[in-house]
Amino acid sequence: MAKIPDAPENLAREHIIPFVKPEKEPEPNASERVNTFIQQNRRAVLTVAAGLLVILIGFMAGLSIRDALRAKAIQEAEALGLRYEALRNSLGDSGKDGDVQALIQDLSAFASARSGYAGARGYDILGSIYAEKKDWENAEKAWAGAAAAGAGTYLAPVFFFNAAVAAEEQGKVQEAIDLYAKAQSGLFPQASRAQFQIGRLEEGRGSRDAALQAYREVINKWPKDAVWANLAQSRIITLSLKQDDR
């Protein structure tokens, strides 16, 4: 057998892959940087995480407490409403004056300390009591309070309308007009009626042009209204004929 000759030293070296240090270490990706940061700052990260968890738990607990308080306030408002219904037919009975005054005091204290539906409901009941007693000044104040407590809700226009009626009963024409205008916000189903009342009040105080404008607005905004648009058209014709007779 032929003897394999020894490889020359320089030939063996040619098959060795030398280690070459890269000119620059590769940049770690985002995931690696995050992992490195967490490893280097484990205690701080855990402290922050625990703090956020406490805040989240507190926030959720706050929402639960708020919802519970709101539900309780609504229950209290409805309980006051039941007291009112029980006394409603006895508001003019002198023998029930003590009960009525006690209810008024309870409603005043309750409504002034609440907001949203509960507060608005309290003021609304109070306004109804004063209206049935023909105390229009306090009725207006109560319904104005109801509108403020229920601001932004679908009930606010109802309270503005009632406050306008109370103002009108006192002869406060301009204030009633302003309140009827506020009652037209949102999707109040009696908005056309509120606008017609403005025309009627303007007509009543001799402001013919303002009355005509108010009546025309009823027709322009609610042309399909079978009641108030027709009544507004009737008043426009009447006022026009009166002007022609001059």
Q: Sort 183 into a burial class: Cβ within 10 Å, 0-12 / 13-18 / 19+.
A: buried
From the list 229, 167, 151, the residue with the least C-alpha distance to 193 is 229
pLDDT beyond 80 at 38: no
What per-residue confidence (pLDDT) applies to 241? 86
Cβ neighbours of 91 (radius 10 Å): 17
- The C-alpha angle with vertex 192 and arms to 146 and 186, in degrees rounded to 5, equals 45
What per-residue confidence (pLDDT) applies to 124? 94
Mean pLDDT in residue range 173-201:
94
Q: pTM for this structure?
A: 0.70
pLDDT digits (tens, 9 = 90+) for 125-171: 999 999 999 999 999 999 999 999 999 888 999 999 999 999 999 99
Length of the chain: 246
pLDDT digits (tens, 9 = 90+) for 51-107: 554 554 444 444 344 455 478 878 898 899 999 999 888 887 778 889 999 999 999
Give residue 20's pLDDT band: very low, low, confident or very high (50, 70, 90).
very low
